[in-house]
């Protein structure tokens, strides 16, 4: 089986990296290739010529182009040990990257924001992380990086990031809906990330903004206790913290279906790798697509517990995340896109929300051609066939 590199990125690298982010993340060299056909209104355009439907019906069909012989190409990718990376873990453990002539080595990090400088200089090849204000700022400052594929997709029913309210407020009738949270303490793990985007969309639905709330910062694992002791009234709680708050009887999922079917995490690549090793990137996304199709049904925002939690997959998730089967089964997981369509409209909408909130200091969203290169995902679609029309 492919080996997993246990090496974390050195602490000095992360420290210097954060300084580089603050300094502007300006990378040397030319910009990465621009996206060729990303539609501003709805993600990537469809391939120019769709494969026959018979090809599209086989989720694990072998790639049409054989992997090169010879030594494996080493690709280094950051790893935050989270379930949003599930397709990578499955493809790695089942040997799909090695089939494509790739030795994928995972480097343990806290999150994608920590490694943007190393992507920008080519010291790291790939990262999987949330599309946050920090990432958009890096693009604005000229970081030599591109989004090349979607990762986590919000579920259509329930959510891995629900709005959880203190149970006693719901039981007493003080909070019947999001509008009743005006002026109350509402927690997020950080500003400018997916939880703020989700909370903003919830409040927009009732004519309010996040600025009408008393926002506080609380780490996800501490949210159930904060709800229990009354130090917060509500929280956008990531799984498994949300389910834990409910199971402890201290929280109620007030709003579960938030931005259903929307992309909130992505695979981000070094511009240096895209220019110098484009064939490796194409083969890498073939393996990633194969891993995605092993655990994900075709429909966007849906999931199949029997497929996702198949015993071999559970063992893989336990190995790479360090979470127990019980913890894995009690959370609402992210879903994924079997066709790897980058949602350009979601990237634009997220920027607008953060601009309105004052956390992203831009007059207009960054254009998609500066954010995205979908040519590699389109190659995977054309080679393995689409599973959706």
Going from the C-alpha of 362 to that of each of 17, 30, 101, 236, 359, the distances in angstroms are: 23, 23, 41, 25, 9
Q: Which CATH architecture has domain 11-153+263-384?
A: 3-Layer(aba) Sandwich (3.40)
253 pLDDT above the threshold of 90? yes
Instruction: Kindly state the percentage of the chain with pLDDT values over 70.
Output: 81
The string of DSSP codes covering 42-68 is: TEEPPPSSPPPHHHHT-TTPPPSSPPP
Structure tokens at 352: 């607008």
What is the model's pLDDT at position 13?
39
Sheet of 73-79: strands edge to edge?
102-108, 73-79, 126-130, 265-270, 145-150
Q: Specify whether the CB–CB gap between 302 and 155 falls below 8 A.
A: yes
Residues 23-37, mean pLDDT to the nearest whole number: 36
- The pLDDT score that the predictor gives to residue 67 is 64
Confidence of residue 108 (pLDDT cuts 50, 70, 90): confident
pLDDT band at 39 (very low <50, low <70, confident <90, very high): very low
Supply angle C-alpha 11, 13, 17, rounded to 5: 120
CB 274 within 8 Å of CB 153: no
For residue 149, the SS3 value is strand
**pLDDT of amino acid 290:** 98
Q: Which ranges constitute the DSSP H helices of 24-141?
A: 53-56, 86-93, 96-99, 112-121, 133-140
CA-to-CA distance for 200 and 356, rounded, in angstroms? 10
Query: What crossing angle do the helices spanning 344-357 and 194-204 adopt, rounded to 10°?
Result: 80
Contact status, residue 112 vs residue 312, Cβ threshold 8 Å: no
Residue 31 — pLDDT band, cuts 50, 70, 90? very low
Contact 378, 148 (CB under 8 A): no
**Mean per-residue pLDDT for 185-190?**
94
- Which regions of the chain carry the CATH code 3.40.190.10? 11-153+263-384, 163-255
Q: The tokens of 30 are what?
A: 């030319």
CB burial readout 230-267, b (16+ within 10 A) else e: eebbbbbbbbbbbbbbbeeebbbbbbbebbbbbbbbbb
For 296-317, how does the pLDDT look when each residue is reduced to its tens digit (9 = 90+)?
999 999 999 999 999 999 999 9
Tokens of 68: 């090169």
Rounded-to-integer distance, Cα 32 and Cα 102, Å: 22
pLDDT single digits (tens) 202-251: 999 999 999 999 999 999 999 999 999 999 999 999 888 998 999 999 99
In this prediction, residues 134-139 reach a mean pLDDT of 95
Tokens coding 159: 């959510």
| pLDDT tens digits, one per residue of 41-92 | 333 333 333 333 333 333 444 444 566 678 999 999 999 888 889 999 999 9
Question: What is the mean predicted confidence (pLDDT) over 345-369?
Answer: 96
**How many Cβ atoms are within 10 Å of 51's Cβ, its own excluded?**
16
Percent of the chain with pLDDT over 90: 70
Q: Tell me the sheet residues that pair with 251.
A: 166
Spatial distance between the Cα atoms of 345 and 332, rounded to a whole number of angstroms = 25
Residue 228, pLDDT score: 97
To the question of pTM greater than 0.85 for the whole model, the response is: no
Q: Work out the pLDDT band at 111, boundaries 50, 70, 90.
A: low
The band of 375, judged by pLDDT with boundaries at 50, 70 and 90, is very high
Round the average pLDDT of the chain to a whole number and report it.
85
- Residue 137 reports pLDDT greater than 90: yes
pLDDT of 103 > 50? The answer is: yes
State whether CATH 2.60.40.10 applies to domain 163-255.
no
Q: Inform me whether the pLDDT recorded for 15 exceeds 50.
A: no
User: Regarding beta strands 38-39 and 43-44, do their DSSP bridges make them parallel or antiparallel, or are they unpaired?
Assistant: antiparallel
* Overall residue count recorded for the chain in this entry: 389
């Amino acid at each position: 089986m492919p080996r997993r590199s246990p090496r974390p990125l050195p602490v000095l690298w992360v420290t210097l990296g954060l300084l580089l982010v603050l300094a502007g993340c300006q990378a040397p060299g030319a910009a990465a290739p621009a996206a060729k056909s990303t539609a501003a209104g709805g993600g990537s355009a469809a391939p120019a010529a769709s494969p026959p439907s018979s090809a599209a019906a086989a989720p694990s069909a072998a790639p049409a182009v054989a992997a090169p012989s010879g030594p494996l190409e080493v690709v280094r990718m950051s790893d935050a040990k989270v379930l949003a990376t599930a397709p990578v873990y499955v493809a790695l453990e089942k040997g799909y990257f090695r089939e494509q002539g790739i030795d994928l080595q995972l480097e343990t990090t806290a999150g994608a924001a920590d490694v943007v400088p190393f992507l920008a200089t080519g010291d790291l090849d790939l990262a999987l992380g949330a599309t946050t204000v920090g990432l958009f700022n890096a693009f604005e400052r000229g970081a030599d990086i591109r989004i090349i594929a979607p990762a986590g997709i919000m579920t259509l029913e329930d959510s891995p990031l629900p709005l959880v309210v203190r149970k006693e407020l719901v039981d007493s009738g003080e909070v019947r809906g999001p509008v009743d949270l005006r002026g109350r303490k509402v927690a997020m793990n950080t500003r400018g990330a997916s939880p703020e985007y989700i909370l903003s969309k919830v409040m927009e639905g009732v004519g309010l903004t996040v600025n009408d709330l008393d926002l506080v910062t609380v780490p996800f694992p501490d949210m159930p206790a904060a709800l229990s002791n009354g130090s917060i009234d509500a929280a956008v709680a990531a799984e498994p913290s949300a389910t834990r708050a409910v199971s402890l009887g201290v929280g109620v999922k007030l709003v579960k279906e938030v931005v259903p079917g929307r992309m909130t995490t992505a695979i981000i690549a070094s511009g240096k790798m895209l220019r110098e090793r484009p064939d490796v990137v194409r083969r890498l996304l073939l393996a990633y697509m194969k891993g995605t199709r092993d655990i994900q049904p075709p429909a966007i925002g849906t999931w199949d517990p029997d497929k996702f939690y198949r015993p071999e997959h559970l063992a893989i998730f336990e190995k790479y995340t360090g979470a127990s089967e019980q913890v894995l089964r009690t959370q609402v997981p992210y879903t994924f896109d079997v066709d790897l369509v980058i949602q350009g409209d979601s990237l634009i909408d997220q920027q607008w929300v953060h601009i309105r909130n004052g956390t992203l200091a831009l007059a207009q969203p960054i254009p998609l051609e500066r954010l995205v290169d979908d040519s590699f995902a389109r190659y995977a679609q054309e080679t393995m066939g689409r599973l959706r029309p």
